[in-house]
Chains A and B, each alone.
Chain A
Amino acid sequence: MTDKRIDEATGVETVGHEWDGIEELNNPLPRWWVLTFYVCIFWALVYSVAYPAWPMISSATQGMLGWTSRGQLAAEMEAQEKERAASVAALANMPIEQLPGNPELMRAAVAGGRAAFKVNCVQCHGSGAAGGKGYPNLNDDDWLWGGDLKAIETTLIHGIRQPGDDQTRFSQMPSFGRDGILTGGQISAVASHVLALSGKGKDSAAGAQLFQENCAVCHGPDGKGMREFGAPNLTDAIWLYGGARKDVIASVTNAHAGVMPAWGTRLDPVTIKMLAAYVHSLGGGEDFTEQAAAPAAPATPAEQTNEQP
């Protein structure tokens, strides 16, 4: 193996290795290349001492600098929070009614709300907030309990029909069919009237009569609904549980009562304000109106504890 010689074709010395007649010429690397290689080795040594590198049985070596990816993330998050601290503090101290007067803060709130929505709300309302059957579409202009910033915030804090929250918004439509209040024929007549209210199909005189007796107390004599009880407007084009005849019959027969969790116990007030601002910004949010004092609550079939003092 040490039989070095000059290769006759190239005039270069061989290294003395031979495999099946193939020999290796001794063409050394350029010096700068070798130096670069040594520098890389040195760099690797320094790096593996300074940073976590060597896998051990249950963890890896810590590294002299004490750097961790989790630590880096924590530092970045902290820096982010610091950056946002000012607008978060301003939001915390500001009643939500004043938010529209502060466009910059509004933008920050909408951006924050968009992120919070993706985490907390998309499971029911969908990533585009378009909702689904039984889950309200938040982009449109139909609000069961009110669509201004304050009303949205209240809904978020206390939820809808959230058990254990004494300020939650509550209403319950009677199950007219299941509880035997109306017969099948009567329900069918009521459904005809309800559909006729929004311009679908022929009206039914009997249905109209039954509607005034049983439904008008919450939905209003003209079927336009009442926000105080979250009673839907039956004359518009938007149906939470479907606007086909069978859907309406199902609603009257069994009654629906969707539950939205009260987020006031899970999210901080600032996040809730941000969420309210985001939902309001989706295109259907309502402006504040001179909120007429709630009309003397008529006796309702459902116990009703409406918001705020």
Chain B
Amino acid sequence: MNNPDRITVPGSHVPGPEKLYEKRKAVYPQKIDGPFRRFKWFVMFVTLTIYYGTPWLRWDRGPYAPDQAVLVDLAHRRFYMFGIEIWPHEFYFVAGLLIMAGIGLFLVTSAVGRAWCGYSCPQTVWTDVFQHVDRFIDGDRNAQARLAKAPWGPAKIFKRTLKYSIYLAISFWTGGAWIMYFADAPTLTHDFWTGQAAPIAYATVAVLTATTFLLGGFAREQVCIYMCPWPRIQTAMLDEKSLIVTYKDWRGEKRGSLKKAEKNPGEFGDCIDCNQCVAVCPTGYDIRNGPDIACITCGLCIDACDRVMREVGRPRGLIDYATLEDNTREAAGETPRPVWKTILHLRTLIYLGVWGMLGLGLLFALGTRNHTDITIAQDRNPPFMLMSDGSVRNAYTLKLRNMESRPRKMEVAIEGLPGAVMWSEDMPREAAARKIVREVPADEIDTMRAYVVMPDGARSQKFTFTLRSLDEAGESDSGVTNFEAPGAEE
């Protein structure tokens, strides 16, 4: 209905078919060079090398354990990382690392803004790779736009086929690298190509190839703007003290071309409205509109703007990494603070402290952990057993862990519980004793049923099972458990 308070703009209703969707505005980022671009190259090189190369590093662990430096062995429930071997019951190390990674993201965000997004996020790295493929096949920004508009012909079909083939090859390589973390890489490569790998390997490669192809090749900045929750979370962590890419509007505005500015001195700011900052942006955002989740703070616009400023003979830094606080300060005529001062503010220091303490705690736990471990599960049903001679028997399931890559002789002993002896289901009952020696295979859990018998007149009490390795290390672990007896009833 007509609202008399509202002004209806005449002619504003556009007749014609309704648009059901908003078409993605294609982004053809222009090639650029500069310190930030070079840093981006460097990070890309390092991260991709780590990702593709890590599974191929070898690490000699002796004959009983795999010799892949980093291996997530789901089948055997082991996680190998160089000299560290994580067992399922030590999963808190992995959980701790994940928490550290989370706090690390907070730390990085509070210190240098969205540096993760701009440089090392996988989506950013692979989008960058694919954009370079675009440039290599289709040419730079203008050529890409021209080709996109051009009618389909042999040349375009050839270029598109070639480009998508390269996309697919990169995607396949990416998916293929992922599965290498979960099995011995050389063996898996051989099995993969000879059709002997597990179906899950092929499925994983197929899924990761498809997602890399789609997300890196086509969705690109749409992932950052529409799909990724992280930019939205980050907006809660950024404040006026955070380092972000900032357009210094007090210096740039009012925008005007070089010609206009020369004609009217004093009327225009430093921004000559050349649009270079938008042209090079991998997400197609115009940073001059202010901070936005579309800005991944990769700094390519800074490179572009600095080059233009150099060409027109104006100082660099019209667009620059700066905190909003400093931007205001600079606008008021004060000198900018050094970057390290903006990075080291209270919030960063708190994150750094928490992060560092977690790290030290994990390192300490790692350094003092034992390669011998016993867990005790007491039978509860029935809790105790009265034998015909009046003695009382309790049963326990003991798990003896030998977390070293060699078989070890281990001794299980009862401490406390006077008069008690034990035997195991796989030994003659007559051999019952206070100590049992078992050979625990390398890197394995030996599950042992222990029957502990106390002579007539036993009472419920606590006692200790001790596990000791009978080698030069002499590691031991122990656990306190209960002996149940009918005592109280009599």
Chain A residues proximal to chain B, CB less than 8 Å? 1-6, 8, 13, 16, 18, 21, 27-34, 126-130, 137, 139-142, 233, 236-238, 281, 283-284
**CB neighbours of A127 from chain B (8 A):** 381
**CB neighbours of B451 from chain A (8 A):** 283
Partner pick for B386 among A29, A233, A238, CB 8 A cutoff: A238
Would you call B388 and A142 a contact (CB within 8 A)? Answer: yes
Given contacts A5-B8, A21-B3, A237-B388, contact A28 B21 (CB under 8 A): yes
Given contacts A141-B388, A283-B385, A283-B393, contact A4 B24 (CB under 8 A): no
Contact with A along B8-22 (1 / 0, CB 8 A): 110011100001111
Task: Give the most central of B2, B3, B7, B21: most A CB within 10 Å.
Answer: B21
Q: Which residue of B lies closest to A15 (CB)?
A: B18
Check B471 for interface membership: any CB of A closer than 8 A: no
Would you call A29 and B387 a contact (CB within 8 A)? Answer: no
Report how far A127 CA is from B468 CA in the complex, Å: 34
Contact with A along B24-65 (1 / 0, CB 8 A): 100000000000000000000000000000000000000000
Check B416 for interface membership: any CB of A closer than 8 A: no
Report how far A126 CA is from B395 CA in the complex, Å: 17
**CB neighbours of B385 from chain A (8 A):** 130, 137, 139-140, 283-284
Q: Which residue of B lies closest to A129 (CB)?
A: B382
**CB neighbours of B3 from chain A (8 A):** 18, 21
Report how far A126 CA is from B382 CA in the complex, Å: 9
Would you call B222 and A30 a contact (CB within 8 A)? Answer: yes
**CB neighbours of A3 from chain B (8 A):** 1-2, 8, 13
Chain B residues proximal to chain A, CB less than 8 Å? 1-3, 5-9, 12-14, 19-24, 219, 222, 226, 379-382, 385-390, 393, 395, 425, 451, 456
Would you call A30 and B24 a contact (CB within 8 A)? Answer: yes
Partner pick for A5 among B5, B9, B381, B425, CB 8 A cutoff: B9
Partner pick for B23 among A2, A31, A130, A238, CB 8 A cutoff: A31
**CB neighbours of A129 from chain B (8 A):** 382
**CB neighbours of A140 from chain B (8 A):** 385-388, 393
Report how far A228 CA is from B252 CA in the complex, Å: 108
**CB neighbours of A27 from chain B (8 A):** 22
Partner pick for B382 among A6, A139, A142, A233, CB 8 A cutoff: A139
**CB neighbours of A139 from chain B (8 A):** 382, 385, 393
Report how far A169 CA is from B385 CA in the complex, Å: 26
Would you call B388 and A32 a contact (CB within 8 A)? Answer: no
Would you call B13 and A5 a contact (CB within 8 A)? Answer: yes
- Give the shortest distance, in Å, between B452 (CB) and chain A (any CB): 11
Would you call A8 and B222 a contact (CB within 8 A)? Answer: no
- Give the shortest distance, in Å, between A263 (CB) and chain B (any CB): 23
Given contacts A8-B7, A139-B382, A233-B388, contact A32 B1 (CB under 8 A): no
Given contacts A139-B382, A141-B387, contact A13 B14 (CB under 8 A): yes
Report how far A130 CA is from B6 CA in the complex, Å: 84
> Can you name 17 extra interface pairs (CB under 8 A) apart from A5-B9, A238-B388, A283-B425?
A2-B13, A5-B13, A13-B12, A21-B3, A28-B19, A28-B22, A30-B21, A30-B226, A32-B24, A34-B21, A127-B381, A130-B382, A130-B385, A137-B385, A140-B387, A237-B388, A284-B385
**CB neighbours of B393 from chain A (8 A):** 139-140, 283
Would you call A281 and B425 a contact (CB within 8 A)? Answer: yes
Instruction: Jot down 13 A-B pairs with beta carbons below 8 A, ordered by A.
Output: A3-B2, A5-B9, A5-B13, A32-B219, A33-B226, A34-B20, A127-B381, A128-B380, A140-B393, A237-B389, A238-B386, A283-B395, A283-B451
Report how far A284 CA is from B456 CA in the complex, Å: 17
Given contacts A30-B222, A237-B388, contact A5 B20 (CB under 8 A): no
Q: Which residue of B lies closest to A239 (CB)?
A: B386
**CB neighbours of B226 from chain A (8 A):** 30, 33
Would you call A18 and B1 a contact (CB within 8 A)? Answer: yes
Would you call B2 and A29 a contact (CB within 8 A)? Answer: no
Q: Which residue of A lies closest to B395 (CB)?
A: A283
Q: Which residue of B lies closest to A142 (CB)?
A: B388
Would you call B21 and A237 a contact (CB within 8 A)? Answer: no
**CB neighbours of A130 from chain B (8 A):** 381-382, 385
Report how far A140 CA is from B6 CA in the complex, Å: 91
Report how far A3 CA is from B9 CA in the complex, Å: 10
Report how far A3 CA is from B13 CA in the complex, Å: 8
Would you call A4 and B386 a contact (CB within 8 A)? Answer: no
**CB neighbours of A142 from chain B (8 A):** 387-388
Report how far A30 CA is from B385 CA in the complex, Å: 70
Q: Which residue of A lies closest to B10 (CB)?
A: A5
Report how far A33 CA is from B20 CA in the complex, Å: 11
Q: Which residue of A lies closest to B453 (CB)?
A: A283
- Give the shortest distance, in Å, between B412 (CB) and chain A (any CB): 17
Partner pick for B389 among A18, A137, A236, A284, CB 8 A cutoff: A236
- Give the shortest distance, in Å, between A233 (CB) and chain B (any CB): 7
Q: Which residue of B lies closest to A130 (CB)?
A: B382
**CB neighbours of A18 from chain B (8 A):** 1, 3
Report how far A141 CA is from B425 CA in the complex, Å: 14
- Give the shortest distance, in Å, between B289 (CB) and chain A (any CB): 14
**CB neighbours of B23 from chain A (8 A):** 31
Q: Which residue of B lies closest to A128 (CB)?
A: B381
**CB neighbours of A141 from chain B (8 A):** 387-388
Would you call A29 and B22 a contact (CB within 8 A)? Answer: yes
Report how far A8 CA is from B8 CA in the complex, Å: 9
**CB neighbours of B395 from chain A (8 A):** 283
Report how far A32 CA is from B456 CA in the complex, Å: 78
**CB neighbours of B20 from chain A (8 A):** 28-29, 34
**CB neighbours of B387 from chain A (8 A):** 140-142, 237-238, 284
Report how far A258 CA is from B333 CA in the complex, Å: 102
**CB neighbours of A29 from chain B (8 A):** 20-22
- Give the shortest distance, in Å, between B221 (CB) and chain A (any CB): 12
Report how far A21 CA is from B6 CA in the complex, Å: 9
- Give the shortest distance, in Å, between A128 (CB) and chain B (any CB): 3
Report how far A155 CA is from B20 CA in the complex, Å: 78
- Give the shortest distance, in Å, between B157 (CB) and chain A (any CB): 23
Report how far A3 CA is from B7 CA in the complex, Å: 11
Report how far A18 CA is from B6 CA in the complex, Å: 12
Q: Which 7 A-B pairs have the closest CB atoms?
A: A128-B381, A130-B382, A236-B388, A4-B13, A237-B390, A31-B21, A34-B21
Partner pick for B22 among A31, A236, A284, CB 8 A cutoff: A31
Q: Which residue of A lies closest to B7 (CB)?
A: A8
Q: Which residue of A lies closest to B429 (CB)?
A: A287
Would you call A237 and B386 a contact (CB within 8 A)? Answer: yes
- Give the shortest distance, in Å, between A219 (CB) and chain B (any CB): 15
Report how far A130 CA is from B381 CA in the complex, Å: 7
Given contacts A13-B14, A32-B219, A142-B388, contact A6 B9 (CB under 8 A): yes
Report how far A237 CA is from B458 CA in the complex, Å: 13
Report how far A296 CA is from B404 CA in the complex, Å: 61
**CB neighbours of A236 from chain B (8 A):** 388-390
